[in-house]
Amino acid sequence: MRVWIDVTNSPHVPFFRPLVELLVARGNEVTITARDFAQTLELLEDARLEHTVVGPPHGGASRAGKVRAMASRLRALRRFAGAQRFDLALSHASHELPLAARSLGVRSAYAFDYEFALAQHALGCRAATRVVVPDAIPQERLDRLGARARKVRRYEGLKEEYYLHGFPPDERVLDDLGVDRARTLAVVRTPPEVSLYHLHGSPLFTAALERLGADPDVHAVVLPRTPDQRAAIAALRLPSLLVPERAVDASSLVALADLVVSAGGTMNREAVALGTPVYTSFAGRLGAVDERLIAAGLLRPLRSADEIVVERKAPGPGRTTRDPALLLDLMLSALA
């Protein structure tokens, strides 16, 4: 079977890495297309996943820019895939792939775990053959996106628990970054400022950054999404911040950290899966997955930078992870 996977953002790389391995082990041929955005291409290279960059980069923060970029990329994806004769197309929140696949008569599975990116999911859900989501998302929230119950397949827990199955943290990431192991290690992820659902910014995140960056007992590794974010953080000249120049092994970093502060989603859930205390400064509407984690006391909503507890993490195992083969089989149900 010939499988087409489209990767358009950094979190999609770890999501698909074990699924690609399983597909190849089962004798399938996998082709990956990618968009040049955030650290996506660097992470694909680090994961040794062969890929072809197709279409323009991200369209920026404006709705008009996003629409222009999507139209251009859709044409490019159709040209790329038109002669390939793929049997199945898979994506996680790349709504352009199910649109392109449907126009080419290719069955597709569209996965996501945050239901309030309404514009993109309404397109992806309607075009896809199958929609794959965590069981935390209520069906009524999916109905408004065009993902009726007959189209939906659900998995238990977090997607991060599947792709982190059997994950061994690599302590070399600390040495590569120059982390002082005598200090409390914080990992900080910037807001998704180019996302339509997060355009109003996050002043709380800035306050948290200043709180950690001025603490001499902390080493805070900040993982920006864009060059502009990297430059803005460096300009703060906070003495306790480390800002990598390129993509790093973030999963190992989160596993080895004492705490995580993130304005996004994936890194929050990685921290939960790996047993690292985590605060969310997400300024958009909370999705069902985060609502469930907060209710269970696994994710701490941050209302003030003063609420951050800076202390060494207690030793202990992370949460139980899940077999990624179960997730892949849900994606493959698009063929049924």
Coil, helix or strand for 102? helix
Instruction: Provide the mean pLDDT of the chain.
Output: 91
Residue 320: the pLDDT is: 65
- Beta strand residue intervals within the chain, DSSP E: 2-7, 29-34, 52-53, 88-92, 107-111, 130-134, 152-155, 184-189, 218-223, 241-242, 259-262, 278-280, 300-301
pLDDT of residue 65 exceeding 70, the answer is: no
Q: Which of 118, 117, 71 is nearest to 96 (CA)?
A: 71
Residue 206: the pLDDT is: 86
**CA torsion angle 45 48 49 55 (round to 10):** 20
Residue 198: the pLDDT is: 41
Residue 74, judged by CB atoms within 10 A of its CB (0-12, 13-18, 19+), counts as: middle
* Tens digits of residue pLDDT in 80-89: 999 899 999 9
* Tens digits of residue pLDDT in 166-198: 888 999 999 999 999 999 999 999 887 644 344
- Per-residue pLDDT band for 60 (boundaries 50, 70, 90) equals low
Q: Which two tokens stand for residue 333?
A: 């149900």
Token look-up 């060059």 returns: 227
Q: Which two tokens stand for residue 119?
A: 């514009």
Q: Which domains does the chain have, with CATH numbers?
A: 2-165+323-335 (3.40.50.2000), 172-307 (3.40.50.2000)
Residue type, position 271, single letter: A
Residue 46 region by backbone torsions, left for phi larger than 0, else alpha for psi between -120 and 50, else beta? alpha
Percent of the chain with pLDDT over 90: 77
CA gap 297, 299 in Å, rounded: 6
> What are the strands of the beta sheet with 2-7, ordered from one edge?
52-53, 29-34, 2-7, 88-92, 107-111, 130-134, 152-155
pTM for the whole thing? 0.90
Coil, helix or strand for 229? helix
Residue 197: the pLDDT is: 41
Q: Which of 122, 118, 142 is nearest to 132 (CA)?
A: 142
Coil, helix or strand for 208? helix
Q: Which two tokens stand for residue 159?
A: 């997607």
Coil, helix or strand for 115? coil
Residue 317, judged by CB atoms within 10 A of its CB (0-12, 13-18, 19+), counts as: exposed
Q: What is the DSSP letter of 313?
A: P
Token look-up 């502060």 returns: 261
CA 319 to chain centre: 19
Q: Which two tokens stand for residue 107?
A: 């069955």
* Tens digits of residue pLDDT in 10-52: 999 999 999 999 999 999 999 999 999 888 999 999 999 999 9
pLDDT of residue 232 exceeding 80, the answer is: yes
CB 89 within 8 A of CB 106: yes
Q: How many helices (H) and strands (E) does the chain have?
A: 14, 13
* Tens digits of residue pLDDT in 277-322: 999 988 788 999 999 999 999 999 999 999 999 999 987 666 668 9
Q: Which two tokens stand for residue 186?
A: 């914080």
CA gap 212, 219 in Å, rounded: 8
State the average pLDDT over residues 134-157: 97
